[in-house]
Amino acid sequence: EVARTPKAGAAITTYFWLRLLWSFSIVSIGFVARDLIGDEELTILVITGGAGALGAVLGFVLAPRLVDKVSTTGMLVLAASVFAGAAITLFGAVELNIALAIMTFGLGFGFFLAKITLDSMVQEALGDDFRGRAFSLYDIAYNLAWVIAAAALKLFYSPDIQGLLIAGGGALFLLGIGAIAAWYRRAGLLAAPAPEGASGLSRK
């Protein structure tokens, strides 16, 4: 049922792509933070964790309100994804504390804004009998994204190119989002009106 429903399939694919960006970027940013800040755990936590948490909470809180204001949920997902990818691409190679904060904030905000909206898309697309199966695919996507991110870092990571590697990961993500946007357009996900009563978005 999930495979035969374009809206659900597109949502889960987008979630995987976002989770891959998240997994790859968070680990890479952690490496850069240790190089810039050293072993000052509290400073690292405040700069990266604090900014990321702020962005995540903001995205989580604003998602229901923004869904009610946009023409389609698909458009909001794409905008949030581009926001996250652009933050990583533009600041990935800038080895400054403020750049780390901007990246983690942008990643947290874009990811959670898109994630909550994607949950809504899945709920809209599938009946009650199939939603559980769809969300179980989220778990598979989550684990697969971490495995691929870890493999990519093992193959390509070097302290000499870590900033460029982060920025390159963001650029690759944006290219993928371009392909996903084309899929959304073909499936009519950028033309349908946004649903009413979107305040019941899933908190998974």
Q: What does the pLDDT average to over 125-146? A: 75
Q: What is the distance between the alpha carbons of residues 131 and 137, in angstroms, rounded to a whole number?
A: 10
Query: Looking at this protein, which amino acid is placed at residue 64?
Result: P
> Would 119 be classed as within a structural domain?
yes
Residue 193, pLDDT score:
54
The CATH number of whichever domain residue 49 belongs to comes to 1.20.1250.20
> Would 11 be classed as within a structural domain?
yes
Neighbours of 3 (CB within 10 A): 9
| pLDDT above 60 (res 130) | no
Domain that holds residue 151: 6-194
Residue 11, pLDDT score:
86
Residue 177, pLDDT score:
98
> Would 200 be classed as within a structural domain?
no
| Tens of pLDDT, residues 156-202 | 999 889 999 999 999 999 999 999 999 999 988 887 554 445 444 44
> Would 199 be classed as within a structural domain?
no
- What average pLDDT is seen over the chain? 85
| Tens of pLDDT, residues 13-31 | 999 999 999 999 999 988 8
Domain count, the chain: 1
> Would 201 be classed as within a structural domain?
no
> Would 202 be classed as within a structural domain?
no
Q: What does the pLDDT average to over 74-82? A: 96
HSE (side-chain half, CA atoms, 13 Å) at 37 = 22
> Would 203 be classed as within a structural domain?
no
> Would 125 be classed as within a structural domain?
yes
Q: What is the distance between the alpha carbons of residues 38 and 174, in angstroms, rounded to a whole number?
A: 31
HSE (side-chain half, CA atoms, 13 Å) at 79 = 14
